[in-house]
Structure 1
Amino acid sequence: MGINGQDWASYQSAAPNTAGLSFAFIKVTQGMTYTNPLWTQQRDHARANGLVVGYYHYPEMGNSPQQEADRFLSIAQPQSGELVCLDWEGYDAENANVPKATQLAYKEAWLRYVKGRLPHSPVGLYCNTDYWTTIDTTKYFQDYLWIATSGRPAGQPGISGAWMFHQYSDSGGVDQDYCRLGSTAELHTWAMNFAPAPVQPAPAQGPKWPGVDLAQGSTGTYVREVQQRLHDRGWTVTVDGVFGPKTKAVVVAFQKDSSAHGWPLTADGIVGPATWAALWNRPVS
């Protein structure tokens, strides 16, 4: 039993129907000049409906794979748990005269270069069975293979490769896809497994957490300790024992900065046990 998805381009609407879907691949770029004008709306729509999101680039293989990849990544900017893919096919005018050996070399270079740029993201290859059987002599697809066939049942692409996704139909004016994993959660977990493990905090140092959250409106010695610690770490804050709006703003800024440096904190302006521990244990950057 697998799960269903679709791949979207500018031919689809900005908000396709997501009923019954677990994932969506969105075309972002083509070559060095084209960007799907709907891709950000489609991305936001997919995210809002709980879909695992993937982004793909359609190449013009006479160009530099590194330059095309750099442009694609500068636009797509995938988040953790989101997939990237090369849509490797070349039946259009831009690719028709590109030698097949060059097309193969482009694929190899693009995948390896993008994986080097995104070591903690799933990077994969889309191609049809013609390209898979006649042009791809290496069978290198990096982290996953998305194979396209015509007239075969979902989940039965008819190849021996270790495929993850199968594009099996274009019914209803949109490409229909299948993933061999069992649920949206399983696909999300698989994608997140590429992300680095969170940094584990060092053994507790500093004063013990007081056992109660400190937030706007709190006063007293513990608030003063938090303010003093923020001040000692280089943040501009008044050490007066009053947790006012300015103190909250500094706490939020500290939480965001901590998350950016591998100490994941919720940026809510509340000093709970995790934020308290980070104040004393996170190395000063």
Structure 2
Amino acid sequence: MLKAIDISSLQPHPDLDGVDVVIIKASEGRTYANPYRASQEKAARSAHKQVGWYHFLWPGNIQAQAEYFVKCADPQPGDFLACDWETTTSGTHASCAEKDAFLAAVKKLRPHLRVVLYCNLDFWKNRDTSSKCGDGLWIADPGAAAGHPRVTHSWVIHQYGIRNHTDVNVCHVATVAEWKKWAGAPVEETPAHPSKPKPTYVPPTFPAGLAPGRSKPSAKPLQKALRQAGFLKISDHDLSDNYGPRTEGGVDKFFDAHPQFRSKGKPKDRAIGPKGWKFLFTLAYGKK
């Protein structure tokens, strides 16, 4: 199960080590806002934690409290919102109907976010009459082992105790990916692997001894390159080690198309040199 903490102004600089979800108090009633909420949010997001917000509900002015809550929290996609339903410092508490109305009002204001109910066992078992908890129940039951609250209703978060003056919780899922799916967090696109650049074509080394009238094994690859580039019509059967008239004719056509590779002062020269060889093979095979 994922680990979570819920914090307020009593934990201005919470320890986030080992925590997956951070639930920040945003507001209370219609006038109080947690003065540390922005810095707490920044710390949580910088540490790549999942974020939730809660509002301490007072009786009365339900719509105004809902609007104040979402304004103070300013939740981002993938965050969740919670109604904290418990006894106020004045000894009062919102009714079950007011709790239900607040959950509905917040959901209407932020329809794409999960909205859950926080309460303790007494409120859930003895004061709730509707079993409405929005998109999930966040139950406070510090007398039970983590992940085993004493409720029959399905739950999202279990607040099971206090450590280092901070409430500790466990969530109903095992992985952050599952939590994000539940919370409707934006899907993070996996960056496409950049295509590997095609290797630059490197023509074969110019062979020593290649010349018209000579027989060398390198005459065959020359004939194939001339054929591939469209300067020589020859079948595989007729390929030969002989740099004879047919090969010379192909080289001559290559020089006609690219005269810069013909030897200066030799208009009938049909001996391909290193530069012409490199250009020919690149022309024939370099674009593949």
Q: Tell whether the structures are fold-level matches, with TM greater than 0.5.
A: yes
- In structure 2, C-alpha distance between the alignment counterparts of 1:51 and 1:185, rounded to whole Å: 12
1:73 partner amino acid: V
Are the equivalent residues in 2 in contact too, given 1:165–1:177 (CA < 8 A)? yes
Aligned to 1:89: 86
Aligned to 2:40: 42
How far did 1:13 drift?
2.3
Bigger Rg, structure 1 or 2: 2
- In structure 2, C-alpha distance between the alignment counterparts of 1:47 and 1:188, rounded to whole Å: 14
Are the equivalent residues in 2 in contact too, given 1:87–1:127 (CA < 8 A)? yes
Q: Find 1:24's aligned residue among 22, 28, 38.
A: 22
Aligned to 2:101: 109
1:52 partnered with 2:50: yes
Are the equivalent residues in 2 in contact too, given 1:51–1:184 (CA < 8 A)? no
1:191 partnered with 2:189: no
Q: TM-score, normalising length from structure 1? A: 0.63
- In structure 2, C-alpha distance between the alignment counterparts of 1:124 and 1:60, rounded to whole Å: 16
How far did 1:90 drift?
1.4
How far did 1:125 drift?
0.4
Aligned to 1:174: 166
- In structure 2, C-alpha distance between the alignment counterparts of 1:178 and 1:189, rounded to whole Å: 17
Secondary structure (helix, strand or coil) at the match of 1:126 reads: strand
Q: 1:58-77 alignment to 2 at 5 Å?
A: 58-61=56-59, 63-77=60-74
Secondary structure (helix, strand or coil) at the match of 2:10 reads: coil
Q: Work out the number of aligned pairs and report it.
A: 189
- In structure 2, C-alpha distance between the alignment counterparts of 1:165 and 1:73, rounded to whole Å: 21
Aligned to 1:160: 152
How far did 1:32 drift?
1.1
Are the equivalent residues in 2 in contact too, given 1:22–1:184 (CA < 8 A)? yes
How far did 1:92 drift?
2.1
Are the equivalent residues in 1 in contact too, given 2:58–2:88 (CA < 8 A)? no
- In structure 2, C-alpha distance between the alignment counterparts of 1:50 and 1:122, rounded to whole Å: 19
> Aligned residues: percent identity?
35
- In structure 2, C-alpha distance between the alignment counterparts of 1:36 and 1:114, rounded to whole Å: 18
Runs of 5+ unmatched residues, structure 2: 188-288
Are the equivalent residues in 2 in contact too, given 1:22–1:183 (CA < 8 A)? no
How far did 1:97 drift?
4.2
- In structure 2, C-alpha distance between the alignment counterparts of 1:91 and 1:191, rounded to whole Å: 29
Which string of whole-angstrom CA distances, capped at 9 and with x for unpartnered residues, describes residues 111-163 of structure 1? 01111111100011000000000011111011011000122110011110110
Aligned CA RMSD, in angstroms, stands at: 1.9
Runs of 5+ unmatched residues, structure 1: 198-285
